[in-house]
Amino acid sequence: MAVFRRRESPPSPVNHYSEYRPCVRDDFQECCAYCLLHEDWAAGRENFELDHFRPKSLSQFASLAKEFYNLYYACHPCNHLKGSAWPEPSLEAAGYVFLDFCAETFSSHFHENADGAWQPLSRGAEYTLERLRLNRKHLVRIRLLLREIASARGVQVVDWNLPARDQLRELLEGIVDS
């Protein structure tokens, strides 16, 4: 099962793709499509942007600029690092692609080590991890902190196969008011 599940039919057409933001945010349950962190753990909603999964600045994808399902919710660092990057056809054919968690499960591509680092298990994971620096210091520290909280409370660690929002709420239930 994919991590994220998009709505079955797209919202009504808009003049500018940014008008889709509330619906995209909702589909991604306020989490980044790439590092999977929830807004509350990633500097809040002001730090989130709409990413064109297939970059609109590349001529072959220009027609997707306003395509709802090409819009992914992403934190600024992930979106900025991704930019207009897209694998060359030869790399893409060999499986070096940006992982699409609207289609893929997390555990088929990554294993989270006890120290919070993600270990790639596929070529797509290798490519995405390197391009988006998914083991950047901040992310690894947050994952480790989440593990420590789960361990202290005797509950399950966050399962990245599912959107993090509700799991994080449960993890912190009784500790903080959300």
Q: Give the interface segment with Zn ion, choosing from 16-24, 35-43, 81-89, 157-165 (CB under 5 A).
A: 35-43
Rounded to a whole number of angstroms, the minimum distance from the CB of residue 165 to Zn ion is: 14
* Of 133, 167, 47, residue with least CA distance to 39: 47
What is the token pair recorded at 124?
């797509």
Binding mask 80-119 for Zn ion (x = CB under 5 A): ----------------------------------------
Using CB under 5 A as the binding criterion, the count of chain residues that bind Zn ion stands at 5
Cβ(172)–Cβ(149) under 8 Å? yes
State which residue, 32 or 146, has the beta carbon closest to Zn ion.
Answer: 32
Shortest distance, position 79 Cβ to Zn ion, whole Å: 7
Q: Which residues pair with 49 in a beta bridge?
A: 74
User: Residue 154 has which token pair?
Assistant: 């005797």
Report the chain's terminal Cα–Cα distance, integer Å: 28
CA 103, distance to chain mean position in Å, is 12
Task: Rule CB under 5 A: say whether 32 interacts with Zn ion.
Answer: yes
**Could you tell me the smallest distance in angstroms from the CB atom of residue 86 to Zn ion?**
18
Q: How far is the CB of 36 from Zn ion (least distance, A)?
A: 7
Minimum Å gap between C-beta 50 and Zn ion is 13
Q: Per rule CB under 5 A, is residue 139 in the interface with Zn ion?
A: no
* Residues 151/140, Cβ–Cβ less than 8 Å: no
Q: Phi and psi (nearest 5°) for 176?
A: -130, 155
Buried/exposed code over 115-129 (b: 16+ C-beta within 10 A; e: otherwise) = ebbbebebbbbebbb
- The whole-angstrom separation of Cα 110 and Cα 112 is 6
Member of 3, 75, 164, 168 binding Zn ion (CB under 5 A): 75
Which region among 2-10, 12-20, 69-77, 123-131 touches Zn ion (by CB under 5 A)? 69-77
Question: Does 134 participate in binding Zn ion (rule CB under 5 A)?
Answer: no
Q: Is 146 in the site for Zn ion (CB under 5 A)?
A: no
Instruction: Give residues in contact with Zn ion (CB under 5 A).
Output: 32, 34-35, 75, 78
